[in-house]
Amino acid sequence: MDAEFLYPEPLRIPQARPSAAAGSAGAPGALGAGVPQVRIDHQAAQELKRRVSEQLLAEHKVNPALVGGVREQRGRALINEQVTVWADAAAHRAGGVQPAEEQALAAMVFDMLFRAGRLQRYLDDPQVDNIFINGHDNVTLDYGDEDPVPVEPVADSEEELKELLRDLARTSGQSERTLSTANPMLALRLADGSRLQALSDEITGDHTFVTIRRHRVEKASLKELIGYGTMDDTLAAFLAACVRGKRNMMIVGEQGSGKTSLLRALLREIPAHERYGTLETEFELWAHRNGHHTQVVPMEARESNGERVDGRGAGEITLMDLMHKAMRMSLTRIVVGEVRGPEITAMMQALTNGRPGNLCTMHASSPYVVFDRIAELYLLAQQNFSEALAYRQIANGLHFIVFVDVDTTRTRKRRYVSHVLEITGIGEGGRPAYNLVFGPPPVTGQGWEAPEAYAVPRTPPTPTTLRTLEAAGFDTTLLHRHAVNPWPQEATG
């Protein structure tokens, strides 16, 4: 039999979406309802994976150059050989084996060895937003609309699911991360950029829970976000000018609201040859490989190896550590993928002491709780920081807060910018003062804002800000033409 036919490319999930009505997770037909499915003997796949893995290990001892693409190519050949042996043995059983079954089995063994195993077919579906695994036999896909869809399991037991996670950790390039009794939590960046968070049964009590966040708009521009309904062209032009004019900006919103996607789009407004740095717990911005920038210095935090030295994990590199090193790298800007802990203090110091034009994201449920959220993180840092210091550094260093919201009332989720606040200094009670430059349109005569509405011009920025944005190429007349209530000309200075 032709070996090339046995292994074309790893099996892809059919384009037809999984159907919840087709059956529960693991039921025949749950994947791609109405599309003929090739059933795979997963026990056979596990055994063939073990055999090929042992052969590759033995050959690597003799030939240390058997790594990377060379190892994968050798793996393909060994998989073909083992599948041929399996098919010859199966041919003596009732019904024999169809070529499609051999092809699917070879693809699955390859995915188990070099990719994400039975999970890979869901990662290959470009329409999936999130993958939820609540135990080995309960897997659902979130497409961003309607309810999560149950699909086939990615493992036959909890131990097999844990082994899959350990395999992903070993092949992720983040060698210090694993899942074990000593380390029952796992955070990973997968090969396609997806973010994985797992909690084993040592924490949850009975099952291993996994959440995989996809990044379907990894290289979206502001123009493309306009097409998605994230904002209109006036707001896009305003935010682009803020980046070019080197305003310090914080993008906030709930989990899954699209903060990272917006930040990626804003980064494309930074000149191609400007030297700036990105700090992340797991790479998600991918500015250093976006095909646009040439001088990005990417920095990723590293977890400890579990040993404690002077009260700290050995080998651990935190975002705070990276922040201090970034200040010595001659960077024009610092971009923090997500501020969620004590690094907020270093980030705010960078805003007040370093060069302007820095950007970051942070979780918050409302644009109006951001000041208190930053103050809370200051207090949690436990370094004699105070609420008053947090407010003062916000007022002195942060120029804009951009809030991203999610509309779940429609058939499909819509992520959009709902508010842009300009920080204008210290206000009443020592709290930062601000202008609502963009916000939802007010409901006439009702005194409240329209829900689920993207931001429109509301209040003029300060004259200093307008001059900065004009110098960065922004047409300030757009704000007058599209304002809910026309601004007096003198308000712009």
Q: Which pLDDT value is given to residue 109?
A: 94
Domain assignment of residue 346, given as a range: 222-492
Q: What is the CATH number of the domain that holds 184?
A: 3.30.450.370
Same domain, 301 and 166: no
Q: How far apart are CA 294 and CA 279, in angstroms?
A: 17
Same domain, 314 and 440: yes
Same domain, 168 and 124: yes
**Given the structure tokens 């030297």, which residue do they identify?**
275
Q: Which pLDDT value is given to residue 386?
A: 86
User: Are 253 and 417 in contact, with CB atoms under 8 Å apart?
Assistant: no
Same domain, 155 and 294: no
Q: Which pLDDT value is given to residue 482?
A: 64
Q: Which two tokens stand for residue 140?
A: 């659902």
User: Are 267 and 290 in contact, with CB atoms under 8 Å apart?
Assistant: yes
Task: Look at the chain and report how many structural domains it folds into.
Answer: 2
Q: How far apart are CA 241 and CA 223, in angstroms?
A: 14
447 within some domain: yes
Q: How far apart are CA 388 and CA 394, in angstroms?
A: 10
Domain stops at, among 216, 235, 260: 216
Amino acid at 268: R
CA atoms within 13 A on the CB side of 392: 6
Reported as a single tens digit per residue, the pLDDT across 102-151 is: 899 999 999 999 999 999 999 999 889 899 999 999 999 998 766 789 99
Q: Which pLDDT value is given to residue 10?
A: 35
Q: Which pLDDT value is given to residue 27?
A: 33
Kindly report the number of other CB atoms within 10 A of residue 104's CB atom. Answer: 20
Q: What is the CATH number of the domain that holds 387?
A: 3.40.50.300
Reported as a single tens digit per residue, the pLDDT across 8-57 is: 333 333 334 554 433 333 333 333 333 345 778 888 999 999 999 999 99
Q: How far apart are CA 141 and CA 122, in angstroms?
A: 8
Same domain, 205 and 272: no
DSSP state of 431: P
151 within some domain: yes
Domain stops at, among 216, 241, 262: 216
Q: pTM (2 decimals)?
A: 0.76
Can you list the residues of the chain whose pLDDT is less than 70? 1-37, 93-96, 145-146, 173-176, 216-218, 305-314, 408-412, 443-452, 482-493
> Which among 286, 251, 282 has a CA at the least distance from the CA of 268?
286
Q: Which pLDDT value is given to residue 332?
A: 93
- Cβ partners under 8 Å of residue 189, min gap 6: 172, 174, 195, 196, 282, 283, 284
